[in-house]
Chain A
Amino acid sequence: MTSERVPTVFLVDDHALIRAGLRAELSGHVNVIGEADEVAAAIEIILERSPDVVLLDVHMPDGGGLAVLRAVNKEQPGVKFLALSVSDAAEDVIAVVRAGARGYVTKNIEGPELVEAIVRTAAGDAVFSRRLAGFVLDAFTNRSQDGLSAPSLDPELDQLTPREIEVLRLIARGYSYRDIAEQLSIAIKTVESHVSAVLRKLQLSNRYQLTNWATERHLL
């Protein structure tokens, strides 16, 4: 979208079938430069080939996607991660995003949407699936019944602006970034910056309930 160059992509997933499917979906749109089916191999090859985007399966043996993310981030913070998972468990999603993934999409995403998400990730923007948007709204707008309001350590980080909430709601309702821009009469770039701001807050916020909240959400 914003980058003229076709991004290089690396696939990490322990299921051969899914890697093959992803390759087929992505071929012609992005440059898939490799794939790995286990944590150790993934870390080694990613560090060697430095792809723009790593498409990362959250659930894998030996520490899962989280281990790959942490190890690569330490050495090459420039490599961007897009988490791809069937898991809808809030704690997994939040954990991966907080560890530094630029976004989270579910595996039932359509091919073109996935390509768009990869391009966006490569450009440094955040990618929110509907579900992630729902999780963030749930965690940050804290309407939980317990009524506990956390001691806000940093109001800058612990609260979403009304506009950000609006954007997240539209994402959760199933709007694409383009639709959102149209609906709110703003530029797509502005939508992207709102979402990136939310991602930053999600990653940097040290609200203690974020973890509590995520681990309590076993359902879904």
Chain B
Amino acid sequence: MTIWMLVPRRDESSSIFTRTMNDRRDKEILFAVLIAVLTLFIAFITIGVGPPGVSLWFLALSCLEAVMVWRGASEDERENLRQVSSNLSKTRVGRTDGWRAVALRTGLGVIFVIWGISLMSRVSGEHGAAAYVLAGASALVLGLFALFAPWWIRSIQDLSMERRARVRAQDRADMAAHVHDSVMQTLSLIQRSANDPVEVTRLARQQERDLRSWLANPETFGAHSSTARTLSQAILDVESEIEDNYDISVDAIMVGDIPLDDATLALVAACREAALNAAKWSGARDVAIYVEVEAKQVSLFVRDQGSGFDPLAVAPDRQGIAGSIIERMRRHGGTATVTSSIGAGTEVELRLPRASSST
């Protein structure tokens, strides 16, 4: 609480403490309360509880500070407190008559605390101690509650207010960062390549897809590669990934859909490799992917009408087709056929038998 008093709130130049010290009337009140607390203390000692412990000093300090906080609070803070208090009528904090209520409550609280402590301190060596302990404890709790409730409610309120503000600021920052990373970057790229319509189209397409998916689902944005649950979603991811990275338009047609498993993931990976090859080597402007989920197998075709190549002339150490497509499909019980001839484009045909258990 001491820290709270001495440290200014964000956006405010002075702390509660300095504000209080700058106000003459507040100083007087502070003084009055100080005297009241001291009086109580003396009374307390004379009742015969013995020398006040360290905890009691803390208690006194807390009372003082509570008063200071209330007096020093700025108008909007007080307004907040009043709103809370009207909602929480039981605690009766911060009625409009201000410091009087606080003083009353502080007084009551201190009395209860003293009463509680004195009851409890008498306990030793008497019969029926439990009743005393109980009464003392409840008095103590009541007193502490009266003392600290406003402060407690206040700090909770303050905390949630600040959290809300922080969330709003965070949202704004996220939005700004996103717009900068995506739209601004794309716009500057478009400016730079204004003479290249193909590039401009590609950039615009990529940006459009980006924005759409972000607007549709900002939470999962940027994690779409891991969110694919079905074959068609995974194929769509492949489609957008290749379109984003290469100057080629990928058009995937899907008939039927099944959930992803190891084998279908391998199918997707092989499909990706085939489409990547088309993007890199074929020189075609678009590549067609067709996926059909049949009763007993899944068929996938990747076709481009580009330059084509002679499959027999591929060096044996090239791993693209052999390793990433054919061998990968074979491992999962499927087949891969690459049909291509120079000048007539390429078609990669992937077939994967469906596990009999899946429907």
A78 within 8 A of B: no
The interface centre, meaning the residue of A169, A174, A219 with most chain B CB atoms within 10 A of its CB, is A174
The interface centre, meaning the residue of B255, B256, B295 with most chain A CB atoms within 10 A of its CB, is B255
**Binary flags per residue of A123-165, CB closer than 8 Å to B gives 1, else 0:** 0000000110110011001011101000000000000000000
B305 within 8 A of A: yes
A71 within 8 A of B: no
Given contacts A130-B290, A133-B253, A169-B292, contact A174 B359 (CB under 8 A): no
Shortest distance from the beta carbon of A76 to any chain B beta carbon, whole Å? 34
Nearest chain B residue, comparing its CB with the CB of A147: B359
Shortest distance from the beta carbon of B231 to any chain A beta carbon, whole Å? 13
A89 within 8 A of B: no
**Binary flags per residue of B234-254, CB closer than 8 Å to A gives 1, else 0:** 000000000000000101011
* Residues in B neighbouring A144, C-beta threshold 8 A: 256
B contact residues, range:
10 to 19
* Residues in B neighbouring A131, C-beta threshold 8 A: 251, 253
The interface centre, meaning the residue of B256, B290, B347, B359 with most chain A CB atoms within 10 A of its CB, is B290
On whether the beta carbons of A173 and B288 are closer than 8 Å, the reply is yes
**Binary flags per residue of A168-206, CB closer than 8 Å to B gives 1, else 0:** 010011110000000000000000000000000000000
A27 within 8 A of B: no
Distance of A151 Cα from B277 Cα, bound (Å): 45
Given contacts A130-B288, A130-B290, A143-B294, contact A173 B301 (CB under 8 A): yes
* Residues in B neighbouring A143, C-beta threshold 8 A: 255-256, 293-295
B residues 292-320 in Cβ contact with A at 8 Å: 292-295, 301, 303, 305
* Residues in B neighbouring A130, C-beta threshold 8 A: 251, 253, 288, 290
* Residues in B neighbouring A133, C-beta threshold 8 A: 253
Shortest distance from the beta carbon of B75 to any chain A beta carbon, whole Å? 52
Given contacts A130-B288, A143-B295, A169-B292, contact A138 B255 (CB under 8 A): yes
* Residues in A neighbouring B294, C-beta threshold 8 A: 143
On whether the beta carbons of A137 and B232 are closer than 8 Å, the reply is no
What total of chain A residues lie within 8 Å of the partner, measured CB to CB?
19
Distance of A138 Cα from B292 Cα, bound (Å): 9
Distance of A203 Cα from B347 Cα, bound (Å): 32
A3 within 8 A of B: no
Given contacts A108-B249, A130-B251, contact A174 B256 (CB under 8 A): no
On whether the beta carbons of B253 and A172 are closer than 8 Å, the reply is yes
Total A-B pairs, Cβ < 8 A: 45
* Residues in A neighbouring B305, C-beta threshold 8 A: 174
On whether the beta carbons of A219 and B253 are closer than 8 Å, the reply is no
Which of A108, A134, A220 is within 8 Å of B290, CB to CB? Answer: A134
On whether the beta carbons of A219 and B301 are closer than 8 Å, the reply is no
* Residues in B neighbouring A141, C-beta threshold 8 A: 255
**Binary flags per residue of A13-44, CB closer than 8 Å to B gives 1, else 0:** 00000000000000000000000000000000
Which of B254, B255, B290, B293 is within 8 Å of A174, CB to CB? Answer: B290
* Residues in A neighbouring B295, C-beta threshold 8 A: 143
Nearest chain A residue, comparing its CB with the CB of B345: A174
Distance of A1 Cα from B224 Cα, bound (Å): 46
On whether the beta carbons of B303 and A173 are closer than 8 Å, the reply is yes
Distance of A141 Cα from B347 Cα, bound (Å): 24
Shortest distance from the beta carbon of B346 to any chain A beta carbon, whole Å? 11
Shortest distance from the beta carbon of A61 to any chain B beta carbon, whole Å? 22
Given contacts A134-B253, A134-B255, A141-B255, contact A174 B292 (CB under 8 A): no
Distance of A121 Cα from B305 Cα, bound (Å): 24
Nearest chain B residue, comparing its CB with the CB of A139: B255
Distance of A137 Cα from B299 Cα, bound (Å): 13
Shortest distance from the beta carbon of A92 to any chain B beta carbon, whole Å? 16
Shortest distance from the beta carbon of B52 to any chain A beta carbon, whole Å? 74
On whether the beta carbons of B255 and A172 are closer than 8 Å, the reply is yes
Given contacts A134-B253, A143-B295, A173-B347, contact A219 B232 (CB under 8 A): yes
Distance of A145 Cα from B301 Cα, bound (Å): 22
Shortest distance from the beta carbon of A190 to any chain B beta carbon, whole Å? 22
Given contacts A143-B295, A219-B232, contact A169 B253 (CB under 8 A): no
* Residues in B neighbouring A145, C-beta threshold 8 A: 359
Which of B249, B256, B288, B290 is within 8 Å of A169, CB to CB? Answer: B290
Distance of A131 Cα from B288 Cα, bound (Å): 11
- By a beta-carbon cutoff of 8 Å, the part of chain A in contact with chain B is 108, 130-131, 133-134, 137-138, 141, 143-145, 147, 169, 172-175, 219-220
- By a beta-carbon cutoff of 8 Å, the part of chain B in contact with chain A is 232, 249, 251, 253-256, 288, 290, 292-295, 301, 303, 305, 347, 359
Question: Can you name 8 A-B pairs with beta carbons within 8 Å?
Answer: A133-B253, A137-B292, A138-B256, A143-B294, A145-B359, A173-B347, A174-B288, A219-B232
Known contacts A134-B254, A137-B292, A169-B290; 17 additional CB pairs below 8 A are A130-B288, A130-B290, A131-B251, A134-B255, A143-B255, A143-B256, A145-B359, A169-B292, A172-B290, A172-B292, A173-B288, A173-B290, A173-B301, A173-B347, A174-B290, A174-B301, A174-B303
User: Ordered nearest first, which 10 A-B pairs have the shortest CB separation?
Assistant: A174-B288, A134-B253, A174-B303, A173-B301, A173-B290, A138-B255, A172-B290, A137-B255, A143-B256, A172-B253
